[in-house]
Chains A and B, each alone.
Chain A
Amino acid sequence: MNLVVAMKQIPDLQQIRFSNRRPVLADVPKSFGNIDKNALEAAVLIKESYGDGKVTVVSAGNEELEDTIKEALAAGADEAFLITDDNALDDADSSIVAQVLTEAIKQLEDVDLLLFGEGSGDNYSGQMGPRVAKLLDLPMVGYASAIEIKGDTAIVVRTLEDVEEVVEVSLPAVITVQSGINEPRIPSVTQILKAGRKPKTVQDLEDLDLGSDHKNQVVTIDILAPESNRKQIKVNNASQLLDALKNENLIGG
């Protein structure tokens, strides 16, 4: 079984500082988003239960990706297919990245299943899985909380707001996973140190045939951290506290 996982390189969210409400991204180490790691773990588990197969991670980003990808290769991916560019991909919107990933995936042979996180760790637009499925003309199931492979179909449990839905999809297909689907493994020392020796294909963005019509359709004007203004309501006793909480509609009247 050939599994492909698409993962997005993002700044390590725990190490971002804010200055005047704007994130300071210089020198912040890169990593993959948490839900992307769930998608990878799902693929590795499927491969392990299937007994054979290959997990290939596809990713697009700047040149740091060649280092970042070691995280995925340590966590169970067998090989990587990377599209890199010094800066063009940093500001690319979902439509462009979806085209880039699609062109990369087309170069892989006999893909049975494509896995994505339901949303990236930074922008969380949740578009990549559906867009790539559309471009590849494959069926797509979103928000999987369990996946079971049966012959040439996948049985997928989707945990929605108030129901669980079980669907069957024929392979090849695209599935996006939720964070609760699994607990990604922690790679061992040996897996970490061997990650850099696993097979890796790196292609320049320029070498992909994206056609001429690939301009950003969404332009990010600004990114600001939410402002939080404390109300600083002072109370002198418990009944005043209760009144204040009621006035703020935080407890029932």
Chain B
Amino acid sequence: MDFSLSKEQLMIQNMAREFAEKSILPVAQQIERENQIPDEILEGLAGLGLFGIAYPEEYGGGGGGYDGYALAMEQISKVCGGVAMTLSAHCMTLSTIMAFGTEEQKQKYMTPGCIGEHVLSVAFTEPSTGSDPKQLTSTAVKQGDKYILNGTKRFISNANWPGTILVFAIDSVTNKPTAFLVDKWCEGYSISEPWDKIGMHGGMLLDVYMKDIEVPAENILGGPAMGYPILQLGISYGKIGVCSITLGAMLSAYEEAMKYAREKMHRDKPITKFQAVQLRLASIASLYEASRWMTYRLAWLANNVKDPVQFAKEAALTKTFVGETVIDLVRDAMAIHGSYGLINDYKISQLWRDSIIAPQIEGVTDMQKTIAAAVLLGAI
């Protein structure tokens, strides 16, 4: 059992750290204020191959695997969670097309995504449902060799950028959820203003309105009625992104806590001399290490998924632990900061807002436990 990172993994980690510190950090406050990522940041990420890091070179990817992806995402998120969130939603879509697409679909939809010309999205959630396929109301009515899509999708990442959006709708032939590859900004496609959400600014969530969008039947991903299995596996890959983003927030909180504790003086001594602070720092370090290795392991598993159901269970367990643990970790880091943690000049205040997103997206924690239990008990 070898837990050391290879030279290539270390170099990918360094590359992402260097780009994040040199290019993202100077605009991180602007992104936080304006909830908008400057184009040159996305261009920079594309230039380094980070839009397609996990995917094979034949589809424009970098061939760095999910392990490289997780390491890079952690470093980007450490500086700006919103930028990492944009990449995560994009990569979840690519992973889904990689798993279910025909060769032609992979060539057509993955390549512009991997090289960063397109920013991809998944659209399952609707105003009345987040995870229940039976509650979907978006429709895809078959007319000859095409489908007509109508409906509203909620909280969709990257819906504003050009590229492919994977839309889940009830198709009129099977009466079940089917996944369609749709070109954003085609006729009938429109979006809302971004939602004003609590944290991870820059990672925009928008509503998508579909009015009589025409989609050729060949744009169905994985076949009719395959929507739910596609969502389950796709979102399992998405959890690598969410967990890596969360790791970045943890690492940042860890560093902020260490820095503050070393600098803050009490009775002429840095507060690191007090056991109450020492215990919190040790707790932070242990929670980070546990989350880190669970996430890296999930990424390693994703490189070679043999059984999608077992992988879904592992992804759900990892997301459960990491998504909840970040709250405890940031709470400890906040406690070390005392009242200063409430002041927006201190990064811990932003991390506090960012961290609560982890247990709420890509399936809430209760949904993760439900998935894991269903697999453990043989119900799936």
Contact = CB atoms under 8 A, between A and B. Distances in A.
Interface of A: 29, 67-68, 70-71, 74, 186-190, 192-193, 195-196
Interface of B: 7-8, 10-12, 15, 18-19, 22, 47-50, 53, 57, 62-64, 68, 72
A67 B53 CA distance: 21
Do most interface residues of chain B lie in helix, strand or loop, or is the interface mixed?
A: helix
Interface hub of B7, B10, B12 (most chain A Cβ within 10 A): B7
Contact of B8 (A29, A68, A186, A193): A193
A189 B8 CA distance: 9
A190 B72 CA distance: 14
B47 A192 contact: no
A61 B47 CA distance: 32
A34 B57 CA distance: 31
Nearest to B9: A192
A253 B89 CA distance: 61
A193 B63 contact: yes
B48 A186 contact: yes
Interface hub of B8, B68, B72 (most chain A Cβ within 10 A): B8
Contacts of B57: 190
Contacts of A196: 7-8
B11 A188 contact: no
Given A29-B10, A74-B11, A196-B8, A189 B18 contact: no
B7 A67 contact: yes
B8 A192 contact: yes
Do most interface residues of chain A lie in helix, strand or loop, or is the interface mixed?
A: helix
26 contacts: A29-B10, A70-B8, A71-B11, A186-B19, A186-B22, A187-B48, A188-B48, A188-B62, A189-B12, A189-B49, A189-B53, A189-B63, A189-B64, A190-B49, A190-B57, A190-B62, A192-B8, A192-B11, A192-B12, A192-B15, A193-B8, A193-B63, A193-B64, A195-B8, A195-B11, A196-B7
Given A188-B48, A189-B64, A190-B49, 11 more contacts: A67-B7, A70-B11, A186-B15, A186-B22, A187-B15, A188-B15, A189-B62, A192-B8, A192-B15, A193-B8, A195-B11
Contact of B18 (A68, A186, A193): A186
B172 to A, nearest CB: 42
Nearest to B44: A186
Contacts of A29: 10
B47 A188 contact: yes
Nearest to A69: B7
Given A29-B10, A67-B7, A189 B68 contact: yes
Contacts of A70: 7-8, 11
B11 A187 contact: yes
Which 5 interchain pairs have the tightest Cβ spacing?
A189-B62, A189-B49, A67-B7, A188-B49, A192-B11
Interface hub of A186, A187, A195 (most chain B Cβ within 10 A): A186
A186 B76 CA distance: 14
Nearest to B62: A189
A200 B104 CA distance: 38
B237 to A, nearest CB: 18
Contacts of A74: 11
Given A70-B8, A186-B48, A188-B49, A193 B62 contact: yes
A188 B19 CA distance: 10
A192 B50 CA distance: 12
A38 B12 CA distance: 20
Contacts of A68: 7
A80 to B, nearest CB: 14
Contacts of B19: 186
A187 B18 CA distance: 10
B17 to A, nearest CB: 10
A189 B50 contact: yes
Contacts of B53: 189
Contacts of A190: 49, 57, 62-63
Contacts of B15: 186-189, 192
A188 B53 CA distance: 9
Contacts of B72: 189
A84 to B, nearest CB: 15
Contacts of A193: 8, 62-64
A67 B8 CA distance: 9
Interface hub of A29, A71, A188 (most chain B Cβ within 10 A): A188
Contacts of B48: 186-189
A193 B53 CA distance: 11
Contacts of A187: 11, 15, 48
